């Protein structure tokens, strides 16, 4: 009987979720012994039990202190956006053109369009993302950014702007080993000035009159049943085979209907089922992520499949 160790973060995932997943696995795959550990603790009891049998460790987020003596480990891990984009392209997945901004970078508007998104290669929660005229994008040395700006510790990336409609919107598809746990659509607060076209920034104050990032506190969130976008999120997981839990941000071009991957949250801090952020999101917007696809049942099945895959 192999072991499956689920590594738990109390402030990010409800322990009850993991206990229910363990119960479902025990019913559906009794040959798998499920242990639950805490990421910030050195749990010697779990470590010793794991040492006695073949073991798979699934840590939704990076472990701090918990370790095992042996075993196959799947773990969340921050990856630069440029690395994500290369992996998407290697799999033939749709991603807007991008370029790491260096000292010699010059972007031709005839190729890139009038406006591009400039974002940090490594940052969280949309920090440092701005819209700029393509012809004005220039390299800025890390020490020239203000304190706290993510550009001080990682390169900046230019990416083709995808026009998603009058108000910026995107989809978040959260997957566990390639299975969608839930899917939501996020749209910027409609009290902002609408962007009437992809070049509608012209004439705005600077270019910031209309928001280009939709995941703000005032944004509107709804459940999504868009099959094409959900399928793309599930396919995208293959770009990160060693990372168990991913949140994929996907957009649809309002003019062409094309869909694109913008990035994936590879750190794994996307268990919106029971995190504080997730509970608030569900309460405010009046939906239940557990029941959308049967998230805990899907999680149990995905974990069973992964353990069996590892041990043949």
63 and 104 in a common domain: no
Mean pLDDT, residues 239-260 taken together = 98
Contacts of 4 (CB under 8 A, 6+ apart): 25, 32, 33, 34, 35, 55, 56, 58, 303, 307
Q: If you ran DSSP here, which 8-state letter would residue 141 be given? A: -
pLDDT of the residue at 204: 45
Confidence band for 282, pLDDT divided at 50, 70 and 90: very high
41 and 65 in a common domain: yes
100 and 242 in a common domain: yes
Between CA 21 and CA 294 the distance in angstroms is 11
Between CA 230 and CA 226 the distance in angstroms is 6
> Is residue 275 one of the residues assigned to a domain?
no
What is the domain count for the chain?
2
254 and 133 in a common domain: yes
pLDDT of the residue at 208: 43
Higher pLDDT, 205 or 20: 20
206 and 117 in a common domain: yes
> Is residue 283 one of the residues assigned to a domain?
no
Higher pLDDT, 101 or 218: 101
Listed range (108-112, 159-163, 211-215, 289-293) with the worst mean pLDDT: 211-215
200 and 101 in a common domain: yes
156 and 116 in a common domain: yes
Between CA 97 and CA 137 the distance in angstroms is 15
* Chain segment 38-95, per-residue pLDDT in tens: 877 777 778 778 778 899 999 999 988 888 888 899 999 999 999 999 999 999 999 9
232 and 93 in a common domain: yes
Higher pLDDT, 245 or 147: 245
Ordered DSSP codes for 107-120:
--HHHH-SEEEEEE
> Is residue 278 one of the residues assigned to a domain?
no
207 and 123 in a common domain: yes
* Chain segment 111-137, per-residue pLDDT in tens: 999 999 999 998 776 678 889 999 999
> Is residue 239 one of the residues assigned to a domain?
yes
Supply the angle between the helices 15-28 and 295-310 in degrees, to the nearest 10: 60
> Is residue 93 one of the residues assigned to a domain?
yes
Listed range (138-152, 187-201, 212-226) with the worst mean pLDDT: 212-226
Contact by Cβ (8 Å): 159, 96:
yes
Listed range (44-53, 203-212, 296-305) with the worst mean pLDDT: 203-212
What phi-psi label fits residue 176: left (phi over 0), alpha (psi between -120 and 50 degrees) or beta?
A: beta
Ordered DSSP codes for 260-292:
EEEEEE-S----TTTSHHHHHHHHHHT--HHHH
> Is residue 288 one of the residues assigned to a domain?
no
Please calculate the CA angle 280-286-292 and round it to the nearest 5 degrees.
95
pLDDT of the residue at 207: 46
Q: If you ran DSSP here, which 8-state letter would residue 135 be given? A: G
Q: CATH no. for residue 131?
A: 3.30.470.20
pLDDT of the residue at 200: 81
Contact by Cβ (8 Å): 270, 245:
yes
131 and 20 in a common domain: no
* Alpha-carbon dihedral sign for residues 41, 44, 49, 52: positive
141 and 41 in a common domain: no
Mean pLDDT, residues 233-258 taken together = 98
Mean pLDDT, residues 279-300 taken together = 97
> Is residue 287 one of the residues assigned to a domain?
no
> Is residue 144 one of the residues assigned to a domain?
yes
111 and 48 in a common domain: no
10 Å CB burial of residue 276 (0-12, 13-18, 19+) is: exposed
What phi-psi label fits residue 229: left (phi over 0), alpha (psi between -120 and 50 degrees) or beta?
A: alpha
- State which residues form the domain around 115: 81-266
Between CA 222 and CA 241 the distance in angstroms is 29
Beta strands in 122-278 (DSSP E): 130-133, 156-160, 169-176, 179-187, 220-223, 245-252, 259-265
């Amino acid at each position: 009987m192999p072991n499956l160790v689920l590594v738990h973060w109390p402030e990010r995932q409800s322990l009850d979720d993991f206990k229910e997943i363990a119960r479902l696995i025990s019913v559906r795959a009794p040959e798998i012994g499920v242990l639950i550990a805490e990421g910030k603790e050195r749990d010697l009891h779990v470590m010793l039990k794991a040492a006695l049998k073949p073991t798979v460790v699934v840590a939704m987020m990076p472990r701090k202190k918990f370790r095992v003596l042996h075993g196959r480990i799947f773990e969340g891990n921050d990856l630069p956006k440029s690395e994500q984009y290369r992996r998407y392209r290697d799999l033939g997945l749709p991603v807007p053109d991008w370029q790491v901004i260096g000292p010699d970078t010059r972007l031709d508007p005839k190729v890139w369009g009038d406006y591009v998104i400039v974002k940090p290669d490594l940052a969280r929660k949309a920090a440092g993302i701005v819209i700029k005229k393509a012809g004005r994008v220039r390299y800025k040395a890390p020490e020239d950014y203000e304190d706290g700006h993510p550009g001080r510790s990682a390169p900046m990336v230019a990416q083709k702007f995808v026009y998603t409609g009058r108000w910026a919107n995107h989809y978040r598809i959260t997957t566990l080993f390639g299975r969608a746990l839930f899917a939501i659509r996020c749209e910027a607060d409609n009290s902002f000035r609408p962007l009437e076209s992809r070049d509608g920034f012209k004439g705005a104050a600077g270019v910031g009159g209309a928001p280009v990032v939709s995941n703000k506190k005032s944004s509107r969130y709804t459940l999504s049943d868009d099959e094409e976008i959900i399928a793309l999120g599930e396919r995208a997981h293959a770009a990160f085979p060693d990372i168990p839990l991913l949140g994929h941000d996907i957009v649809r071009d309002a003019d062409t209907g094309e869909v694109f991957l913008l990035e994936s949250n590879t750190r794994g801090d996307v268990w919106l089922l029971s995190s504080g952020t997730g509970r608030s999101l569900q309460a405010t917007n009046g939906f239940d992520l557990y029941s959308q696809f049967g998230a805990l049942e899907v999680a149990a099945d995905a974990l069973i499949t992964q353990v069996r895959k590892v041990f043949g």
